[in-house]
Amino acid sequence: MNTNYEISEEVFDYLVVVNPDALVAKDVTRIRQFVATELSDTMMSAAPVHVALFRSAFPERFQDDFVDMLEEVARKQAGFAIYTAKIDALRHADGHNSVFINVANPKPLIDLHRSIMQTFELKPQTFKPHIMLARGLQDAEVNMIMPLLAQQIFVRSFNCHCFSLLKRPASGGKYERVKDFVFGDIEHMVGSLFNYAAA
């Protein structure tokens, strides 16, 4: 049922992400700058560095419920390490291409994505965790940069112990951080003393 109130309400684009540590983010930005220079596109290197987990658009009045549900996911989640690997490209159905860094051990992120989907009672989707380098590229641009990038193995790792909720107006603009959600399952944290408590 659409009332005038609902029609006039501003909708926000919400994004749940995992942020790499500062060192990895810096290295990713350096590769983005290289790609941006090669393609003469300076906007590319300015985007935040993250692994996107979940995205949804809705009016702000639902934000508190959304936050509560994400807190529930984080409370049950244990920390894990993320390892990156090679740089890859993907051609989308619309004919544009993305270039990204693969995650070498995708299972923990796939499991976290599944937990979020289940919490919101959504059907599981195919999810391939990655760190975006460039999107919306033409075939010619990909053919130009991939031979330069494919030689590079981007082997890095970082510990994941939280995820963040970002938002921006659905009409566009810059994402702003709403909240960080620290994982609460300390007992199963890798390297935790609790792992040995029952031994």
pTM, 2 dp: 0.85
Q: Are 136 and 96 in contact (CB under 8 A)?
A: yes
Q: Is 3 contained in some domain? A: no
Q: Is 199 contained in some domain? A: no
Q: Is 173 contained in some domain? A: yes
Question: Please, which residues have CB within 8 angstroms of residue 147's CB and are 6 or more apart in sequence?
Answer: none
Return the structure tokens found at 177. 């951080």
Q: Is 188 contained in some domain? A: no
CATH number of the domain within which 99 lies: 3.90.1140.10
Q: Is 62 contained in some domain? A: yes
Q: Is 131 contained in some domain? A: yes
Residue 169, domain extent: 11-183
Q: Is 30 contained in some domain? A: yes
Altogether, the residues listed in the chain come to a count of 199
Return the structure tokens found at 146. 């991939």
pLDDT value at position 154? 87
Number of domain units in the chain: 1
Sites in the chain below the pLDDT cut of 70? 1-7, 42-44, 185-199
pLDDT value at position 32? 92
Q: Is 197 contained in some domain? A: no
pLDDT value at position 29? 93
pLDDT tens digits for 126-176? 899 999 999 899 999 999 999 988 777 789 999 999 999 999 999 988 999
